[in-house]
Amino acid sequence: MPEAAFHMAASAPPMAADGPALLSARGLCFDAGGKRLIDGVDIDIRPGRRTVVMGANGAGKSLLLRLLHGLIRPTAGEVLWQGRPLDREGRLAQAMVFQRPVLLRRSVLANLRFALAVRGLPGPERRAREAEAMERSRLGDLANRPARVLSGGEQQRLAVVRALACRPRVLFLDEPTASLDPGSTHAIEQLVAEAHESGVAIVLVTHDIGQARRLGDDLVFLHGGRVVETGPASDVLDMPRSEAARAWLQGRLYLDTPTGPKA
Ligand SMILES: Nc1ncnc2c1ncn2[C@@H]1O[C@H](COP(=O)(O)OP(=O)(O)OP(=O)(O)O)[C@@H](O)[C@H]1O
Ligand SMILES: [Mg+2]
């Protein structure tokens, strides 16, 4: 399979930080169980940019991804795709790799097939993408094995190539390497880097500071459902301005509200 084949997907090269947003959130709020879990988030995802989302457990990172991907409806505010309310077309231009890989009780190949069939691609195109994804994932020998018996690293690799086979313009990844060893982590990072080179916008949740440096252009730091800090990833990691980000990066517990320490 020629290297270039994988890159047919996205035509746009990595873009500048100030281009028009592909995906935006405006005043995004989400309430559940009588609590405001996402609180007034504004965010812009630009074509080809890599945005890293960080924050403590329970800060709202996974919820934010679900809202941006249109899996749950906001209580207030809105998600815009190219300036218009996110619709089916916008959702189909996105793909998501969940914190725990969501694989069908079918073979590796059938998992790929299903994802492509849902998008209504013609047979020859589907088969070409399947072959390419199998090659990319290095799971060729396991094509007919039930996906759920794969190792954690293999499952995550399958989840990433399955998402990329759909040729998304935005790829969400929620802690894709959380329980993986360095070799498997590197394989996932490589796939993400290749997707980025082909112009896919990446939104990545991670607790791994090294990974945030390697893969992040922009960093959004969440605390208590609010964006408390955002900026170039290296700036936020090297010189955090918010107490919440500073404490988190230093491994300290920070329990106060995002608006500031309580008196
Ligand atoms: N449907 C729901 N109903 C009530 N509470 C919810 C719901 N979904 C999430 N929460 C709560 O919202 C908060 C944010 O959850 P979320 O999963 O987004 O955190 P996170 O930042 O991804 O954390 P982690 O790093 O542990 O994955 C948590 O306190 C969680 O318990
Ligand atoms: Mg999470």
Identify the three-state secondary structure at position 84: strand
Cβ(72) – ligand 1 distance below 6 Å? no
* pTM for this model (two decimals): 0.90
User: Which helix or strand (DSSP H or E) is residue 240 part of?
Assistant: none
- From 231, 233, 191, 201, select the one nearest 216 (Cα to Cα): 233
Residue with CA closest to ligand 1 atom 8: 63
Q: How far apart are CA 78 and CA 51, in angstroms?
A: 19
In tens, the pLDDT along 13-45 reads 444 566 789 999 999 999 999 999 999 999 999
Cβ(37) – ligand 1 distance below 6 Å? yes
In tens, the pLDDT along 221-253 reads 999 999 999 999 999 999 999 999 999 998 876
In tens, the pLDDT along 173-182 reads 999 999 899 9
**Token code pair at residue 164:** 């990329």
Give the number of other Cβ atoms within 10 Å of residue 55's Cβ.
24
Query: 79: which residues sit within 8 A by CB, 6+ positions away?
Result: 23, 24, 25, 28, 67, 68, 70, 85, 86
Cβ(108) – ligand 1 distance below 6 Å? no
